Amino acid sequence: MRPAASGCAADTPYVKAGQAPHSLVARRNGDERPVTAGAFAAQVTPVAKALIIAGIEPGG
C-alpha cells in the first residue's frame, strides 16, 4: 500500500519506514518490546486495508 499522494498523517508510518526502517518508533505495552518503523508499517497495512474494504473513508 502506498501513501496517499496528497499527504496526510496516515503517511507517517510509511515515510518513516522508508527513511529509517530500523529506527525505534514505539514500545509494546506490557512487555516493553521495541517496535521498529518498518515493523509498524507492516503491521498497520493489513488494518488499513481492512478499513478500506469495510468502506471507512478518510474523515469518516
Mean pLDDT over each residue of the chain, to the nearest integer: 84
Asked if the model's pLDDT at residue 46 lies above 90, the reply is yes
State residue 5's pLDDT score: 58
Higher-confidence residue: 34 or 1? 34
Cα angle 42-47-51, degrees, rounded to a multiple of 5: 145
**45 Cβ contact partners less than 8 Å away, ≥ 6 residues apart:** 1
Q: Average pLDDT for residues 20-49, to the nearest whole number?
A: 90
Q: Average pLDDT for residues 24-51, to the nearest whole number?
A: 89
* Global confidence as pTM: 0.70
Higher-confidence residue: 46 or 29? 46
